[in-house]
C-alpha cells in the first residue's frame, strides 16, 4: 500500500536492531484517514471471504480493527491481555511469548464471542515473530471457528513470523513488508 | 442516547456492587454500528468546540475514540499504561489510582503528540470515580493544551467522579448515566 509505505519511510524510526517506531500515525497517535485507507485495502483483499467477525489483541490493534470492521459491517472482538473483573470466567485462553519483554503473557476471549460458525479475520498492527497471531489462532481453533485470513499493517519481513504462518497455510496479507532496517535505514519490499 | 440505554438495559450485567459488564457491545466485543451512533452523538455535543485531537486511554477507550475521530476529522492519541520500548523517553506522565485493582498505575503520552495549541476532547468508555480522566487532564495541562470536553459512553452516576469533574469546571457529556444498580437491577437516568 503505497500511502502507508511513504509514511513509514517518512516518519518511521528504527531503534536498535528490530524496533520500528511508527507512533506518529499507528500505535500511539493514530491517523484516522490513513486507517480508513488501510480498512478499505483490507476489505478489498478479503472481500470474498464472507467474514463474520474481526479479532484483534489489545491495545494497539483495536483502532485499526474497529475502522476496518466498518468496511465489513461486522463486530470486533479484542483478546484481553490482563486479568479483569469485567471478563467472564468462561474464556478461551492461550499463552503468548513476548520477545520484547522476554516473558509469556496470557490472552483471553470470552466463549460468548467466538462461535463455531464464525469466519474470522484477524487484524493487527505488526507481525514480527508471529507469536501473537498463533495465540489468537489457538483461541479461534478452540472455538472451532474458521480463521479465513490475517490482515497486518506492517510485517517485519526479516523476522520469521510471516514465513511460519504462511507455512501453516494461513492467508496473510500485509500492507507493508519491511525488508530490512540495517543501520537505521528502512527498506520496504 | 436512547439506543445505548436500551442496549445497556438489555445486555448489561451487574456484578457485585459496582461492576457493570457491557462486554457484548462495548469493551470486549465492539458493536461498530452502535459506536458510529455514539460518535455522531459526540460530534453533535461538541461540534462548536473546534477540536484538534481526541485523547483516550488504552485499551477499551481506543475503539470508540477512533470511530468518533472520524466525525471530527482529527487524530487520536491514546495514553499508554505500560512501559514500552516503543514509547519515547520524553513523555508527560501521571499516576492514576485504580479502585478495581487497588493500586496505582502510570499513564504516559509522548510530548510529541500534545501541543499547547491543541484543543482536546477526551473520549472514554466509562466514568466512575474519575481518576483516569483526572490523570489524562494532568497530561493535557502539562502540555499547556486546552481540554475542551469529555465524552463518556457510560457514567456511573452513583459514584462521585462525574460530580468531582463537573465541580472542576470540566465540560462532561455522558451518553448514558446509570442511576443505580441495586440488587442487579440497572436504573438509567
Residue B113 has pLDDT above 70, yes or no: yes
Closest CA of chain B from A81, distance in Å: 10
Give the mean model confidence (pLDDT) for residues B144-159. Answer: 98
Give the mean model confidence (pLDDT) for residues A12-24. Answer: 93
pLDDT interval class at A85 (50, 70, 90)? low
Print burial letters for B22-60: b (CB count within 10 Å at least 16), e (below 16). Answer: bbbbbbbbbbbebbbbbbebbbebbeeeebbbbbbbbbb
pLDDT top residue among B32 and B189: B32
- Chain A residues within an 8 Å CB radius of B103: none
Closest CA to A178 of A166, A161, A169, A168: A161
Crossing angle for the helix pair A2-11 and A32-46, to the nearest 10 degrees: 140
How far is residue A18 from each of residues A7, A57, B84, measured CA to CA in Å? 18, 21, 14
- A45-59 pLDDT, tens digit per residue, is 999 999 999 999 999
Name the phi and psi angles at B158, rounded to 5: -90, 0
- Chain A residues within an 8 Å CB radius of B32: 66, 69-70, 73-76
User: What average pLDDT does the structure give for chain A?
Assistant: 95
Say which of A19, A58, A74 has its CB closest to residue B86.
A19
Chain B residue nearest residue A12, CA to CA: B86
Chain B residue nearest residue A99, CA to CA: B85
What's the pLDDT score for residue B85? 65
Within 10 angstroms of residue A171's Cβ, the number of other Cβ atoms is 15
User: What average pLDDT does the structure give for chain B?
Assistant: 95
Residue A160 has pLDDT above 70, yes or no: yes
Residues from A in contact with B at Cβ < 8 Å: 15, 19, 21, 23-25, 27-33, 35-36, 58-60, 62-63, 65-67, 69-70, 73-78, 80, 85-88, 100, 109-110, 112-113
What's the pLDDT score for residue A17? 84
What's the pLDDT score for residue A134? 98
Q: Quote the percentage of chain B above a pLDDT of 90.
A: 89
Say which of B59, B75, B80 has its CB closest to residue A30.
B75
Residue A86 has pLDDT above 70, yes or no: no
Residue B73 has pLDDT above 80, yes or no: yes
Encode chain A in three state secondary structure.
CHHHHHHHHHHCEEECCCEEECCCCCCCEECHHHHHHHHHHHHHHHHHHCCCEEEEECCCHHHHHHHHHHHHCCCEEEEECCCCCCCCCCEEEEEEEECCCCEEEEEEEEHHHCCCCCEEEEEEEEECCCHHHHHHHHHHHHCCCEEEEEEEEEEECCCCHHHHHHHCCCCEEEEEEEEECHHHCCEEC
Answer whether B30 sits within 8 Å of A78, measured CB to CB. Answer: yes
Q: How far apart are CA B130 and CA B132, in angstroms?
A: 6
Name the phi and psi angles at A36, rounded to 5: -65, -40
Contacts of A44 (CB under 8 A, 6+ apart): none
Tell me if ipTM is over 0.85. Answer: yes
Answer whether A78 sits within 8 Å of B59, measured CB to CB. Answer: yes
What's the pLDDT score for residue A51? 98
What's the pLDDT score for residue B38? 98
Structure-block grid coordinates of residue A176? 507493508
- A34-45 pLDDT, tens digit per residue, is 999 999 999 999
**How many Cβ pairs within 8 Å bridge chains A and B?**
127
pLDDT interval class at A167 (50, 70, 90)? very high
Answer whether B78 sits within 8 Å of A87, measured CB to CB. Answer: no
- Chain B residues within an 8 Å CB radius of A112: 24, 29
- A88-140 pLDDT, tens digit per residue, is 779 999 999 988 778 899 999 999 999 999 999 999 999 999 999 999 999 99
Least-confidence region, from A15-29, A154-168, B87-101: B87-101
- Chain A residues within an 8 Å CB radius of B13: none
Answer whether A23 sits within 8 Å of B86, measured CB to CB. Answer: yes
pLDDT interval class at B189 (50, 70, 90)? confident
Give the mean model confidence (pLDDT) for residues B124-137. Answer: 97
What's the pLDDT score for residue A78? 98
Structure-block grid coordinates of residue A173? 496479507
Encode chain B in three state secondary structure.
CHHHHHHHHHHCEEECCCEEECCCCCCCEECHHHHHHHHHHHHHHHHHHCCCEEEEECCCHHHHHHHHHHHHCCCEEEEECCCCCCCCCCEEEEEEEECCCCEEEEEEEEHHHCCCCCEEEEEEEEECCCHHHHHHHHHHHHCCCEEEEEEEEEEECCCCHHHHHHHCCCCEEEEEEEEECHHHCCEEC
Q: Please list the residues that pair with B173 across neighbouring strands.
A: B151
pLDDT top residue among B183 and B147: B147
- B79-99 pLDDT, tens digit per residue, is 999 766 666 789 999 999 987
What's the pLDDT score for residue A189? 87
Amino acid at each position: 500500500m503505497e500511502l502507508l509505505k511513504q509514511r513509514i519511510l517518512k516518519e518511521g524510526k528504527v531503534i536498535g536492531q528490530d524496533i520500528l517506531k511508527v507512533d506518529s500515525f499507528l500505535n500511539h497517535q493514530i491517523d484516522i484517514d490513513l486507517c480508513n485507507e488501510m480498512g478499505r485495502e483490507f476489505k478489498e483483499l478479503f472481500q470474498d471471504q464472507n467474514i463474520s467477525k474481526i479479532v484483534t489483541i489489545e491495545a494497539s490493534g483495536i483502532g485499526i480493527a474497529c475502522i476496518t470492521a466498518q468496511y465489513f459491517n461486522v463486530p470486533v472482538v479484542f483478546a484481553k491481555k490482563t486479568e479483569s473483573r469485567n471478563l467472564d470466567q468462561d474464556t478461551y485462553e492461550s499463552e503468548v511469548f513476548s520477545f520484547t519483554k522476554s516473558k509469556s503473557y496470557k490472552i483471553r476471549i470470552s466463549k460468548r464471542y467466538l462461535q463455531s460458525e464464525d469466519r474470522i479475520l484477524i487484524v493487527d498492527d505488526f507481525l514480527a515473530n508471529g507469536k501473537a497471531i498463533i495465540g489468537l489462532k489457538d483461541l479461534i481453533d478452540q472455538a472451532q471457528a474458521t480463521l479465513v485470513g490475517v490482515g497486518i499493517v506492517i510485517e517485519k519481513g526479516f523476522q520469521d513470523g510471516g514465513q511460519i504462518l504462511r507455512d501453516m497455510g494461513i492467508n496473510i496479507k500485509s500492507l507493508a513488508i519491511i525488508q530490512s532496517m540495517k543501520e537505521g535505514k528502512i527498506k520496504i519490499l
